[in-house]
Amino acid sequence: MNNVNFGTYHHSTQEESDHIRSMVEKKVHSIFSKLYPISSALQILDAGCGLGFMSYLAATYYPQSFVTGYDNFNDESLKGSSLEKAIQNMKSLGLENRTKFKKHDLTESFDSEIEFDLVISNLVFHNMGNDRFKAYENVFDSLKEGGYFVIGDLFPENSKDMKFLLERSTLLMEQPVTGEGKWDLRLKTFLKGSLK
């Protein structure tokens, strides 16, 4: 992990950000273990990838997978973030052949030829106001039927988000990550469609 820095979240220090990420990492591995076998060759999208934290978790857990990261790279919620730094992190981790990043606003249509097996995201949607619903819609359009959306977020208007998300998917799991302190970060896992 030398030379790798996934950045500092706003309203946070580097140490707090790294601590939050270490808690997310533990929970996300356990979630991944319930979704697909490790050997699966998955197409994965990291929505709001920042400097590639979730991309790194997914690409290392699923070594046959390919991860695409979208971010507009001009939002204040990750200090000093850039596309170049995200690519550099993946090079330092030896993941440059199984990851790619694109400058893209999540509220704009993804226009992707790939139907993703899994969409992952951490601490992105709560900062988007009502535009987040357009972004959620784009996530589900890009996800194959039966695919999964694993989202870590604060859900300040939880019932509104849940109503919207449950019209498109089934909630499989929900876990608290940080507990109700300064941040109440929760991880939710949705299945596109319904359980068989």
Ligand X SMILES: C[S@@+](CC[C@H](N)C(=O)[O-])C[C@H]1O[C@@H](n2cnc3c(N)ncnc32)[C@H](O)[C@@H]1O
Distance CA 109, CA 142 (A): 9
Q: Which is nearer to ligand X, 40 or 127 (CB)?
A: 127
Residues in the chain: 196
Q: What is the DSSP string of 10-49?
A: TTS-HHHHHHHHHHHHHHHHHHHHHHS-TT---EEEEET-
Minimum Å gap between C-beta 195 and ligand X is 28
Q: Which is nearer to ligand X, 36 or 70 (CB)?
A: 70
Distance CA 134, CA 170 (A): 19
95: contact with ligand X by CB under 6 A: no
Q: Which of residues 115-174 bind ligand X (CB under 6 A)?
A: 122-124, 127-128
Distance CA 75, CA 40 (A): 33
72: contact with ligand X by CB under 6 A: yes
Q: Which residue's beta carbon is nearest to the bound ligand X? A: 50
Q: Which residues bind ligand X (CB under 6 A)?
A: 6, 9, 48-50, 53-54, 70-73, 75, 77-78, 81, 105-107, 122-124, 127-128
